[in-house]
Structure 1
């Protein structure tokens, strides 16, 4: 059920393994102990066109943003710990990236639908 969506500047594909970023992000989510490992879904989305702030010439234009979507019901402390775990993982995995952010989003149980395989 939890979703880890890693958005990143496409330029990063020249310097880091995106598949490793995804698989290790999946592991970082699992390591928190908040979720059943088989329920975690992780994916990455590259962005070719974007603006970072004033986007000064000569800036690196590198970013990673992780959005973690979880069903409502977790405590504030659990969400803070989850955010810190993903943030720390991304900073270690991509030390050359100056813009890294993580956002935890609650999904309402009433409006979440899921097809389960037979």
Structure 2
């Protein structure tokens, strides 16, 4: 944890390689000091078919899932940093967004916890 899952239109990957985008999201997440580097997970889901506002305009949306405990300000800053970086990388894409959801510590389980 945390998980950064980027949904985007397939054509986004024509501007930058997938590995480079993943690396940039990872670097921003680590630079915040909120997460241990080895815990950060980044994935990209490109879509060939989609509609955004009844159009087929390119889009990027990052869904981020983190363990509860960060402040609203920390989460807002993280979102702004990632969206700013993506806006710089993809200046022609007008639909760039991110949201953050908290994992509830009491209900979270992974294999090492068994």
TM-score, normalising length: structure 1: 0.88
Question: Distance in 2 between the 1:29 and 1:103 partners?
Answer: 14
Distance apart, 1:14 and its partner CA: 2.2
Deviations 1:72-115 (A, max 9, x none): 11111111111111111111121121110010111111222122
Distance apart, 1:52 and its partner CA: 0.6
Question: Is 1:46 the counterpart of 2:46 in the alignment?
Answer: yes
How much is the aligned-residue C-alpha RMSD, in angstroms?
A: 1.3
Q: Spell out the pairing of 1:6-85 with structure 2 (5 A cutoff).
A: 6-55=6-55, 61-85=57-81
Question: Is 1:106 the counterpart of 2:92 in the alignment?
Answer: no
Distance apart, 1:50 and its partner CA: 1.0
Structure 2 alignment gaps of length 5 or more:
none
With 37-46 and 9-18 compared, the bigger mean Cα shift is at: 9-18
Structure 1 alignment gaps of length 5 or more:
none
The structure 1 residue matched to 2:85, chosen from 82, 86, 89, is 89
TM-score, normalising length: structure 2: 0.91
